[in-house]
Structure 1
């Protein structure tokens, strides 16, 4: 770190973090922070897989298909509110404090869900669980981006967000024995499924305690000495693990330090400084949220209601595996082929394929519907994961967590709450006639929103691959910050 003035510092910490080679230390970050998406996938899939187990009055909670959709909407509503609430706190009090707190909220709420005594209790617990997960999205995405080198940021973000489907596959397979009345009492199987999520969360918490605070957050909030100590420790660890001597850097940034950043300044940043990026993120989040929440929250219900599937776990596991493989296989291309091409391509292709599936819905079986979904979401998974990557890297550092939370909340509220409610009603209505084509309208809406998101990416996307976060969007506290999108683009050229 270079000379320090009163309230102003010139630091080389961002450049030092970005020049690090990949080492085992980075895997600690990935495992400690990224595994939260496994929890989210576990939660969503358990609910989708056990929709039938929750319907009986004696062993379940007496829920209808509409109630299943409502529970999904409550979970997403909690996630939206939790993202906004904890996102603001993450930018104000630091990444580490909040990613420990939000994981604690999730764990407690999941345990309480397992003890649900009636639908009202269950809905309330789903809301609280969603709050914890929503807070995690804001805290974790911002921390990961600030700790992972620029060269690897795209592939790591996409792959980590795609790990949601590891949890989804795990949840699907777990429900097979847990919902088998010959193995587990039906009144206890679905409760045990929720309890397993809490056990996994405790294991993640143990690892997460060793992940440091973001040095980028620290030096902006007048804690530059602590930031310097953390970076030196990281550099020493990486040198030991790789056997490579780290070269010096000559790129610095001058920061006017602040203890807090006001909400009006954050709002001004999002809506006036970067209006095109705001439209971009909104389009990406609405498309992927409606697609996933509408389709996946009620996928198990669709299989059992229209296609005669009694045990949906195997189908959901295949679907989930395709999603994860898609994110894992395609993730390196977001750093090489580029963000704009990959996001636009995955959004438009998955949207077109979903529309085709909607026109063929009446002729699909449980197997062919699952295979169709596996192909569609092989591409959609990588694109949807890139929506979180986009929101987490194209806005200034001081607003990163809240920007992630804002777009997650707005996009998810538009697509993730209305989606499950719409599909729940469509299933209830179509089931009266036994006609699966009654839910095709939901497929067409999701397809249209994904295609629109891809088109918006073509015109407004940011070529962020390989660039430092500070070059993509200068911190609000940096000297000579750009005034708008155009000057930001010029400053990177």
Structure 2
């Protein structure tokens, strides 16, 4: 059985996927990376700035929020991300990638920018929710578009590197915060407002660049716009030839016969995910949940660990964050190419497994009192050098292993599930494990157990990838999973539900 959907519509023969995948790396692909990849930078910037501004918002001269209200601003943003991913994920599969990556960026600009004009807690919370809606929608539209526009030989490293730039945004946010939230430079009542304008300023520059990025020809091919898809590929190829690159003809045997994508309701989607692709659904869910648990556990508790167990002052916490962020950024950039050469399953097992083993070693040393704030941070840097590459590959995984028509929704569903199952539970759990720790009589036992739980969960993720993962490196998206609209396809590849057994 395959994922092919029968249709009465007259099929169209298309070489669009094969033509896109045979392209070399060109200026056009840099345009795609820069124009679309900025979304993760904006997300990292947003979360880091808001985490730094929370104490300022509790001051009487600003909004005078309680600790609970200040903390829930982050939750409001996260809830917005989940809702935005679910809502816009369906729309990006229905209406197209380009329409949505323009609309979602505009929503983010509006929500974040208006946050600078908030007059009380509820108005700011609403603005944070709107900003989260936009970024959540960005995840689905951006990852879908990047995977469909980037040639198969480069897809893994580019997707992983782009997802890893979140930490570049976080580092930028921390650097800005050191200056912006210094009362000697800017008054408290102005600093928190100005921080909400930084992301939109960057976004306004990018939104004009995005207008020059075309719609995904792959999406158009399966949604009744085959001629327009061919025209877009013609234009891309012409750009490439102007750069002095000679393109060889694509063999007609690589053509797909497709018909227009049928409308799919929730019941049909559930049947496809868990009926035709049960192993892939378990695989994608496991990748997303395990990385979300580890990241949220450490990221939301690292400041508490440094202050409670090592006596680091609040003012010095950003200096420990910088190397942590850099380690997270370098992992995807340096290890990403190996996901295309060594392969997905081997690299996921390696990155998840190494981060788990290193976390266990650091937990033992932490419990024995053998670490300082500096050595603890060094351990985190090395752990997340590997974990960051693995976490970024989780987004790549759920984007490439399902049919084209479900790509946006697959990203949104597994993102929402991961945030609910791992993203919410982990900070709560680790906050309770840190609990009554203090500088004079720190009790490391409970948190050590938490670190072992996080390591075990990551190890499970790596093993699941090894045993039921998909060898999708350097494979055309259409070879990894048949589009639902395919009527006839070339022989070969690892398409359809039959590829559930491809892990060996």
Please state which band the TM-score falls in when normalised by the shorter chain: over 0.9
Distance 1:352 1:55 in 2: 40
- Conserved? CA contact 1:69–1:421, under 8 Å: no
> Could you say which residue in structure 1 is the equivalent of 2:394?
387
Deviation string, structure 1 residues 7-51 (Cα, Å, up to 9, x no partner): 311111000000001100000000111111100111122233344
Aligned: 1:377 with 2:381: no
TM-score (norm 1): 0.92
Distance 1:329 1:235 in 2: 29
Identify the range of structure 1 (24-33 vs 440-449) with the bigger mean alpha-carbon deviation.
440-449
Q: What is the aligned length? A: 488
> In 2 relative to 1, CA 93–293 (structure 1 residues): closer, same or farther, beyond 3 Å?
same
> In 2 relative to 1, CA 485–450 (structure 1 residues): closer, same or farther, beyond 3 Å?
farther
> Could you say which residue in structure 1 is the equivalent of 2:3?
none
> Could you say which residue in structure 1 is the equivalent of 2:406?
399
Alignment of 1:49-68 (within 5 A): 49-59=52-62, 61-64=64-67, 67=69
> Could you say which residue in structure 1 is the equivalent of 2:292?
289
TM-score (norm 2): 0.90
Alignment of 1:238-317 (within 5 A): 238-250=240-252, 251-258=254-261, 260-304=263-307, 306=309, 307-309=311-313, 310-317=315-322
Identify the range of structure 1 (480-489 vs 99-108) with the bigger mean alpha-carbon deviation.
480-489
Distance 1:190 1:434 in 2: 36
5+ residue gaps, structure 2: 1-7
> Could you say which residue in structure 2 is the equivalent of 1:335?
340
5+ residue gaps, structure 1: none
Q: SS of the residue aligned with 1:7?
A: coil
Give the Å deviation of 1:236.
0.4
- Conserved? CA contact 2:40–2:166, under 8 Å: yes
Alpha carbon RMSD of aligned pairs, Å?
2.6
Aligned: 1:209 with 2:214: no
> Could you say which residue in structure 1 is the equivalent of 2:141?
139
Deviation string, structure 1 residues 427-466 (Cα, Å, up to 9, x no partner): 5644698737354454333222211111111111100001
> In 2 relative to 1, CA 119–39 (structure 1 residues): closer, same or farther, beyond 3 Å?
same
Alignment of 1:388-467 (within 5 A): 388-427=395-434, 429-430=436-437, 435=442, 437=444, 439-467=447-475
Distance 2:467 2:503 in 1: 18
> In 2 relative to 1, CA 192–360 (structure 1 residues): closer, same or farther, beyond 3 Å?
farther
Distance 1:418 1:478 in 2: 40
Q: SS of the residue aligned with 1:150?
A: coil
- Conserved? CA contact 1:49–1:312, under 8 Å: no
Aligned: 1:223 with 2:225: yes
Q: SS of the residue aligned with 2:138?
A: helix
Distance 1:452 1:490 in 2: 19
Q: SS of the residue aligned with 2:408?
A: helix
Q: SS of the residue aligned with 2:177?
A: helix
Distance 1:55 1:483 in 2: 55
Give the Å deviation of 1:171.
0.7
Q: SS of the residue aligned with 1:369?
A: helix
- Conserved? CA contact 2:222–2:485, under 8 Å: yes
> Could you say which residue in structure 2 is the equivalent of 1:26?
29
Give the Å deviation of 1:96.
0.6
Distance 2:503 2:19 in 1: 19
> In 2 relative to 1, CA 154–11 (structure 1 residues): closer, same or farther, beyond 3 Å?
same
Distance 2:503 2:216 in 1: 24
Give the Å deviation of 1:361.
3.4
> Could you say which residue in structure 2 is the equivalent of 1:344?
349
Aligned: 1:488 with 2:493: no
> In 2 relative to 1, CA 436–51 (structure 1 residues): closer, same or farther, beyond 3 Å?
farther
